Amino acid sequence: MRTALLLVSLAEDLWPAGNRSVITDVAAAAEAARAAAVTARLIIEVNLKGITDPVLAEEFGAAAAAAGQVAERADAIVAAIRAEIAR
């Protein structure tokens, strides 16, 4: 999840500075980070009930919750880039 958050942060920094032929790559990277985060969240959620260590369960739960942030930020990046290329 940390890597997905990092990728989304990088995409947020890169897309305003990129030219039209590069920003679509930034959108693709944001979508890939989103997919990775949402997939990780599903895997965590399916296994979370089997984790008996409360500290570990808390860490994994927090990681799963971060997937929503990644998805929202990635969606915003892609929407902004789609608006830019539609102009």
- pLDDT tens digit string along 26-38? 999 999 999 999 9
- Cβ–Cβ < 8 Å for 23, 15: yes
Q: How far apart are CA 60 and CA 55, in angstroms?
A: 9
**pLDDT value of position 51:** 92
**pLDDT value of position 78:** 96
Share of the chain above pLDDT 70, in %: 100
**pLDDT value of position 6:** 95
Cα–Cα nearest to 6, from 78, 75, 66:
66
Average pLDDT over residues 56-73: 93
Q: What's the pTM value of the predicted model, to 2 decimals?
A: 0.86
